[in-house]
Structure 1
Amino acid sequence: ENFSDIEFSFEVENFQKSNRSSVLLDPNQEFSMLDDKNRCLNIYLGSVLTDNDNCMCSVYARYWLLNKTTLPLLFKAKGSRDIAAGQSLEEMEQKRLESEESLDKQLQKDYKEEFNPLMYSYNSSKLLFRNKTQVQIADSVWSNPISLESVGTDGSLIIQEANGTKQFELGVSIKLLTGRFYRTKMISFAPRYILVNNSKHELYYRQTETRTGHLLPADSHFPFHWCDVSKPLEICITRNKDYLWSSSFSINQISEFILKVPHKTPKKKIRRNSATELWHDAFLVNVEVQLTEGSFLIVFKDEHLQEPPYRIENSTGQEILYFQKCLNDAHEILSPYAQVPYLFDVPDVSR
C-alpha cells in the first residue's frame, strides 16, 4: 500500500494550522505551526511499519518545558530575538496586573505543584547539541544559554534582576519520558531552594545581613531566592519576637545539623550538667538539607534531644576557657575536673 497517498496537517489551540504533507516512513517528519505572533513551533510525525505491514504514526514534540516555580518564566533559543512560540507577554502582564502582587509577594506563595508544560522547539533540527536555550524571569536579564540534551542530569541556573539586587536560582532537571512519550525530553525548572517547615511552630527566615523577615507557617513550604546578591548567600531563622535570629548557615550543600535559636532574655544561668539545662534558654531546630531533581529542600523539624551531641571534660587541675572557633568573644569557663554538655552555636555544615 502506498502510504504517501495519505496527507497530514495539524492544528493546536492558539496556533495556525501546520503545513500539509504526505506521510513518509520517517521517525522525524517535521511539521511547522505559527502562533498569533508568527513564531514557529516544530512538531514531528514518527511513522514506522509494524509487523503486519501497517503504518503506525505518532505525533510528538521534542521538548516539554515545565515551569515548576511561582515565577513568570520566558524561554527563547540562543541568538533568537523572539521568545519561543506559544508564550504571551500580554497574558503575563495582565495576570500580574489582575493579581496586584509584587514579585516579592509572589515569592511568598506556598509552593504548589500545579504545572502545564510548554511545547518547545528550535528552528534548526540539525546539530541539536549546538542549540541552546535562555531563560528570563519577568524583566530580569536573560540567563546564560543552557543545553537541553543532557538527559538524566540535574543542574542549576542563575538569573540576575535587571535593575536591582535580587538573584534568582533555578534547579534544572532533564528527563527522557517513557511509554508513548519516549521521544520527548521534559525539562523541569523549579526553585533551587525550597524551605519546608515540618515543625509545629511558625518560623521566620531571612537572608543574612538583610532586614526583612518572612513568615514560614507550620506545615508549609515556600520557594526561596536571594533578595540581595551583595550580601552573604546564607540564611538565618527565628521563632518569634521573643527570640533572637539564629546564626547564619549555608543551604547549598547536603547536610544535617541542630540549630540553636537563642531567647532574647535568657533565664538566670545555672550549672549546665544535663542536656535540658544546656538549652533552657534556646529553641532547637533540626535542619536537614536534601537535594532532589536540582532543588535543595531545607527541612526544619522540631528537635527534642535527650542527650547532648557533645560533652567537654576538663581532666586538668586548672580552669579552661572554651568557645567555638568562630566566636572568640563568646567563651565560657570550665572548672577543674568538671564536664559540660555542648552544642555548637554556629553549625558547621561541612562536618
Structure 2
Amino acid sequence: MENLTLNRMPELEWTCVPAGNTVPFSFEGRGKQRHRDTHELKVHQLLVQVEGWKPVGPVTVDKVGVFFRLASSQPSSASSVGYELPSARVVMAVTLDGSARKLVTVRSALLLTNNLQCPVDIKLENVALRLGDVKTLQVAPKTSIPIPLLYAWARLFVRPVSPVGGGWLYCKEPLHWLTLLQPRQEANDLRECPVINTQVPPFRFCVHVRRDNFPVDSSYPSPTSSPVLPARHNEWVQPGHSIVLVSPLTLLNLLPYDLHYEVKTTRNSGRIKPGEDSSLHSVDPAQSVSFSFWTDGLTSCGEITLNPTSSPYVLHLKLQDSRKRILYVHLRVRPQYGGSLKVIVYAGYWLINKTGLPLIFKQEGVTADAAGQDKEHEVARCAAPLLFSFTDREASPMLVARVGNNLHPESRAQFCHKLPLTQGTWVRRLRVTPYDSRPDYVYVVGVDVRPGRGRYRDTYMVTFSPRFQIENRSSHELIIAQKCFSTSFKDPGAQSTWLRAIPGCWLPFHWPRIDKDQLLCICLRDVPGCNWSGGFLIEKIDSFYLNIRDNNGHCFFMRVEIIINDATYFIVFTDAESLPPPFRIDNFSEVPITYYQTGTQEERLRTSVKPRSCVSYAWDDVMLPPHLTCVAPGGTCATYNMNVLGEGASLTYENFIYIAFTGTFTK
C-alpha cells in the first residue's frame, strides 16, 4: 500500500459533499469475483478536505469507530473564506447503516445536545475570526448537532424558540468550554434567558460541559492572553467537548393518575399525565423551592420543600381524600448533570384488581378503609390501580380485603385473612355471610406481589386475580357450570350460576358453591341436544380430552389444557378435530362389540362398534379410573386398563352352529 502524504499526493478525483447532505460512493466497481486478484490486501481509505483547510487523512473506513485528524489551515491567499483560519480538529465517525453499508460522518469535535422539551435557537458569534459573522441554528428537543467547523470558536448564546407574539431573549452570558483542557473534565452552570414580558419569570436552564477523551493539546494560550483570541493560530484551544442543555427541575409522575402541582414562589401550576414528565424552567435548583401536589381524588395536606443537594434523598408527601383518609406517596430527589434536579413521584404499593369483583382494602387492625375508595368501589371493580400505604405505624403492616357490600346486598362481607405485602404468591378466600341460614358465598382469589419493572422498581405491584380464568379458543360457544348445577337444563336457580363463553373470550371463574364438589362441566351451546360433559378438576396442571355427546350419540372431542401463571390457573379449551384422538378402538371380529368406561352408569354412554370397523374414543369421565369395559354378544364382558400396554383378557362370545343329517328329515 502506498503511503499518501501531503507532499507526494497523486492525482485524485475529489467528490464534493455539501453541508448537511449525504452522497453515496464506492471504492470498486462491480465485477465477477473470479476475475479479481483475491490475494491482494486492499485497505479502503479516505482523504477529507474541509473548505478553508488542507486535506487530512488517510482514514481507514474498513472498521467502525470514531477517528480524528488535525487539519492545517490554507494560506489566506488560497483560502476561499478570505482570511487565515486556525488549525482545526476534524472528526470522522464510521458507523453501520443497515447490515453492510457504512456511513462516514465528517463533523467538528464540538457537539451540542438539547435535552430540553422545547426547541432552542443557538446564536454563533464568530468574533474570534471575523467581526460581524453571526450564524443561527435551531436544535430540536432530544437531538444533538455538531457546531459547524468554521464556527467552532464562536461564542454560543441560547434561547428557547419564541412563540408567536412573545418570547425570550438570548442568555446574557455565553456557554463556556474553552477552560476545560483535560480529558473527561466537566463543568456545570446555570443560564437565564430574559423574557420580553416582565411579568413572566425568566427561562432558566442548566449547562453541562464535558471534554471528551481527546489527547491533550500540545500547547495552550498564555495565561495573560484571551482564550478566545490567542497570540498565534497554532495555539488555539482545539474543541473536543460535549455541551448538554438540561432543564433545572424535572418532575416525573410514576402514579397511575394525573398529578397536579403548583410552585409556590412563582405560582406556576400544571398537570402531568401518568408515566410522563414535566420540565420547570422558572425555578433555580441552587435555591429551595416549595411545591403543592394533588390528584383528581386526593388533595394536598400541605406544602413540601425541595432543598439543593449533591446526593439523592426521599421525601414523604401526605395526601387525603374527601373522607379525610390519609395516603402517603414518596418523592425521590436525584441530582443530575448540569446541576439540575429530577423529582420522581411514586407510591409504595399499587393494588391492581383483576378478579372481576368489587374489592375493598384496608390496613389490618385499622378501622377505616384505605384512602381513595368511594361508594362506586362497593358496586363494581375499579379499572385503575388503587394507591396504598400503611398509615398507622402501630398497627400491623398487613393488608386485608373484602368484596363490595353491594355485590350481595342481603349479606355481610367479611375481610379475608391478613396478607403480607412482600414478594410472593398467596391465595385468599373472600367470604360473604347471608343474614339467613343460607351457606356463605366464597370467592377464591390469587394474590401476586412483585416489584415493578424498570423505573417502577421502587413500587410493589399487588395483583389480585381470579384463582381460575377460562379461555375459549374453540369454535363452539360453551356453557360452563359447576357439576352440582349441571343436572338439568330447566332449573332457573342452576342457570343463574352458568357462564357463557363465546369463541375467543376470557372469563374469570369463581365456584358458586365452595361446599360442593369443585368439578367443572361444559356443554356446547351451538350443538342441538348436547349433554353435559363429565366433571373435571381445574386446580392442578393437566392436559386431557373431553368427550361431549348429544342426544343422538354423536361424540364431540374438546382439548383441555390447565396451566398456572403466578396465582391463577388458566383453563384453555381448544378444538380437537385436527388432533389425533387419545384412543382408537378397532373391531376386527365378525360381531358388534359394545364398550364403555368402567364406572359409568348411564345407558347413553355405551357405544357399539360395528364388525370390521374402528371408532375414536375419549374418556366420558376423566375422574374415573382409565378402565374400559367391552361387552360381546351374549353378555360376556372384560375390563382393560388403558394405561397398561400389552394383550389383555380374551373376550369370548357364543356362536351356535347346527348340524343336520338328511336321513332324519321327515318328508
The answer for the alignment partner of 1:271 in structure 2 is: none
Deviation readout 1:125-149 (Å, 9 max, x if unpaired): 799xx61111111132111111122
2:514 equivalent in structure 1: 229
Amino acid at match of 1:11: W
* Residues 545 and 582 in structure 2, CA contact (< 8 A), matched pair in contact too: no
Alignment of 1:43-192 (within 5 A): 43-50=329-336, 52-89=338-375, 91-92=376-377, 115-124=383-392, 131-139=397-405, 140-150=413-423, 153-163=424-434, 164-192=439-467
Shift of 1:116: 1.1
Contact 2:312 2:335 in 1 (8 A): no
Structure 2 CA distance for aligned equivalents of residues 252 and 22 of structure 1: 53
Partner of 2:573: 300
TM-score norm. by structure 2 comes to 0.42
Q: Could you tell me which of 256, 264, 271 is aligned with 2:543?
A: 256
> What secondary structure, in the 3-state scheme, does the structure 1 residue paired with 2:475 have?
coil
User: Residue type of the partner of 1:156?
Assistant: V
Instruction: Using the TM superposition, name which of 153-162 and 135-144 deviates more.
Output: 153-162
- Is the counterpart of residue 5 in structure 1 residue 285 in structure 2? no
Distance 1:349 1:154, change over 3 A: farther
Change (3 A) 1:313 1:263: closer
Give, as a single letter, the amino acid of the residue that structure 1 aligns with 2:430.
I
| Contiguous gaps of at least 5 residues in structure 1 | 97-105, 107-113, 267-280
- CA–CA separation in structure 2 for the residues paired with 1:122 and 1:219: 41
Q: For each residue in 1:80-121, what CA deviation from the matched residue of structure 2 results, as whole angstroms up to 9, or x when unmatched?
A: 1111001102x345x66xxxxxxxxx9xxxxxxx93111111
Q: Which of 500, 515, 533 is the equivalent residue of 1:246?
A: 533
In the TM superposition, residue 170 of structure 1 has moved relative to its aligned partner by: 1.8
Q: Which moved more, 1:221-230 or 1:2-11?
A: 2-11
Counterpart Cα distance in 1 of 2:420 and 2:445: 15
2:502 to 217, 230, 241: 217
Partner AA of 1:297 in structure 2: F
Task: Give the counterpart of 1:39 among 319, 325, 333.
Answer: 325
Identity %, equivalent residues: 26
Aligned-residue Cα RMSD (Å) equals 3.7
Superposition deviation, residue 342 in structure 1: 4.4
Does the Cα contact within 8 Å between 2:535 and 2:623 map onto a contact in 1? no
Q: Residues 124 and 325 of structure 1: is their aligned pair in 2 closer, same or farther, counting only changes over 3 Å?
A: farther
TM-score (norm 1): 0.76
3-state SS of the aligned residue for 2:371?
Answer: coil
Larger radius of gyration: 2
Tell me how many residue pairs correspond in the alignment: 313
How much has 1:52 moved relative to structure 2? 4.7
* Structure with larger RCO (C-alpha < 8 A, sep 6+): 1
* Per-residue deviation, 1:122: 0.8
Q: Is the 8 A contact 1:193 1:223 kept in 2?
A: yes
Contact 1:166 1:225 in 2 (8 A): no
What does residue range 197-208 of structure 1 map to in structure 2 within 5 Å? 197-208=472-483
Alpha-carbon shift at residue 227 of structure 1 (Å): 0.8
Using the TM superposition, name which of 21-30 and 73-82 deviates more.
21-30
Q: Distance in 2 between matches of 1:223 and 1:194?
A: 4
